[in-house]
Amino acid sequence: MHPHIHAKTNADKAAIIMGNSGEIITYGQLDRRSNRAAHLYRSIGLNIGDIIAICMENVAEFFDLVWGAQRAGIIFVVVSNRLTASEINYILKDSGAKAVFCGASLGDKLLNQISQCEHQYILGADKSGWENLHRAMQAQPITPIKDERAGTDMLYSSGTTGKPKGVRFPLPEDENIAAGNALVMLAGGVFGLNADSIYLSPAPLYHAAPLRWCMTVHRLGGTVVVMNKFDPEKALELIQKYHINASQWVPTHFVRMSKLPPETRAKYDVSSLKCAIHAAAPCPMPIKEMMINWFGPVLMEYYAGTEGNGFTYINSADWMTHKGSVGRALLGIIRICDDEGNELPAGEIGHIYFEGGPQFTYHNDKEKTADSHNQQGWSTLGDVGYVDEDGFLYLTDRKSFMIISGGVNVYPQEIENLLITHPKIADAAVIGAPDDDLGEKVVAVVQPMNMADANEAFTAEVYAFLRQTLSGVKIPKSIDYRAELPRHPTGKLYKRLLRDEYWAARS
């Protein structure tokens, strides 16, 4: 299905509700607005297979542009509006984007430094050197272009471990803009999404999961409620106000909601929820148990990546009997391999590969594409874990985050998941810092709920808390404090930045 089909049958139904402002875009309006975007692309000479970039906050116009691209055979790159000018320009240049669409929220200083594209449009302002997007769109017809053809996305990795890379797929073989895809089948068949879904999206649209799942809900004819940015109490308010029955989260969202005062959590009715999807990172087990007890057995977890090379799934009932798992494979076959590429038996930790999943390449990076595949042609996202006897996958950590301390492998995720359950800790990162004796030492960087707790007494309390669960080799050699950790709005932690800081200090 496709939004234009729903526009014919249910034009006045809300396709988009902006959670903070209450702005509503109907399916009829979305159809007309995306047609205008498609005409705009053609008017500036963009043809099938050309690339555009969108760098905006969460606004309704975001969907005009991506659905316009999807029906014009355009490849669309979405770029974080939190990046620096050099980071944005890197993606624009690397992707080969011929047009860029930005929001005025980027600010004049940043906008002045973006100059990589032939065509530049700005939403919400007039600025020298930039076309006003609203006026440009209003000048276009609301009818479909004559050469409609399905487009696709090319999304860049978040760059948490290095420079971001574009995940490149060919344009869909089926040119029909209403043709289905694997995510539509998963969303409908496994997660139960349909035309009656009222779906809350609390994360930035420039990330893979929020964008793709919102577009999937539109394909199914449901309503997407978009938060401008995540706020834990606002999310609960929207669930109650709009009777949200489907949603998608990352573990950081759950952590922040769990830290709300009990009386705040109790104020809101969340009983309308039938599906609370989460992914992006392993969820600390106590946090997930608390969320299941609070939301009900509606939590559904998956493990996948922008690359789309595999997909695992687990519901609440299976998770309660396989705690910590991210599920069994629905797409691809899970293979766990050692450093030499040999497959490992159940229970042994190794590199996670998928066999038989869709093929992908990293744009302009043959070496990274090759490194992501082994000699059998199986592909990996760079994560480490194991499979149990029942075929359930457990994530240990990313290979690049592993700490080798005195010859012993230490996986930070386990320590971080424990730290975050402490009632006085808002966020935590565990990294390997240089050590003359051990090579690397385990360091915890902690964001307290209250920075007044960043003292020796609290450090002693945290150590006592960790020693109840962790073996000696996993106990951090030091605990440092920060008012805020460098976390991506999608919930991913930029450990690379922290690690680089510690290693740079040594040199």
The per-residue pLDDT for range 243-271, each reduced to its tens digit, is 999 999 988 899 899 999 999 999 999 99
The letter for the amino acid at 77 is V
**Alpha helices in 157-275, H assignment, sequence order:** 182-189, 208-220, 232-242, 251-258, 262-266
Least Cα distance to 503 among 438, 436, 434 occurs for 434
Q: What is the mean pLDDT of the chain?
A: 92
pLDDT at 83: 83
| Token couple for 20 | 């903070």
pLDDT at 506: 67
The letter for the amino acid at 465 is F
pLDDT at 161: 52
The letter for the amino acid at 375 is Q
Residues of the chain with CATH 3.40.50.980: 180-306
pTM: 0.84
319-399: CATH topology = Luciferase; domain 3 (2.30.38)
For 389-436, give the DSSP string: TTS-EEEEEEGGG-EEETTEEE-HHHHHHHHTTSTTEEEEEEEEEEET
Beta-sheet strands, E only, within 69-219: 75-78, 99-103, 119-123, 131-132, 152-153, 155-156, 166-168, 198-201
Least Cα distance to 438 among 478, 482, 466 occurs for 478
| Cα gap 172→149, rounded to integer Å | 9
Cβ atoms of residues 414 and 449 within 8 Å: no
Residues of the chain with CATH 3.30.300.30: 402-506
pLDDT at 33: 98
| Token couple for 145 | 């272009």
Residues 6+ apart with CB under 8 A from 55: 78, 79, 80, 81, 83, 88, 100, 101, 102, 103, 106, 114, 206
| Cα gap 38→177, rounded to integer Å | 12
Ramachandran angles phi, psi of 433, nearest 5°: -110, 155
pLDDT tens, the chain, 507 aa long? 899 999 999 999 999 999 999 999 999 999 999 999 999 999 999 999 999 999 999 999 999 999 999 999 999 999 988 888 888 999 999 999 999 999 998 888 889 888 778 999 999 989 988 999 999 999 999 999 999 999 999 998 765 556 778 898 889 989 999 998 889 999 999 999 999 999 999 999 998 899 999 999 999 999 999 999 999 999 999 999 999 999 999 888 998 999 999 999 999 999 999 999 998 777 888 999 999 999 999 999 999 988 889 999 999 999 999 999 999 999 999 999 998 889 999 999 999 999 998 888 989 888 888 889 998 999 998 888 999 999 999 988 776 677 877 667 787 888 998 999 999 999 999 998 888 777 789 999 999 999 999 999 999 999 999 999 888 888 999 999 999 998 876 667 778 788 888 888 766
Is 10 in a helix, a strand, or coil? coil
CA–chain centroid gap for 109, Å, is 27
pLDDT at 158: 64
Least Cα distance to 446 among 471, 474, 408, 418 occurs for 418
pLDDT at 267: 96
Residue with tokens 């939403």: 123
Q: What is the DSSP letter of 453?
A: G
What CATH number labels 27-176?
Answer: 3.40.50.12780
For 254-323, give the DSSP string: HHHHHTS-HHHHHTS--TT-SEEEE-SSPPPHHHHHHHHHHH-TTEEEEE--TT-S-EEEE-HHHHHHST
| Cα gap 64→300, rounded to integer Å | 29
Cβ atoms of residues 344 and 337 within 8 Å: yes
pLDDT at 470: 87
What CATH number labels 180-306?
Answer: 3.40.50.980
| Cα gap 331→308, rounded to integer Å | 9
**Alpha helices in 44-107, H assignment, sequence order:** 61-70, 85-95
- Domain 402-506 belongs to what architecture? 2-Layer Sandwich (3.30)
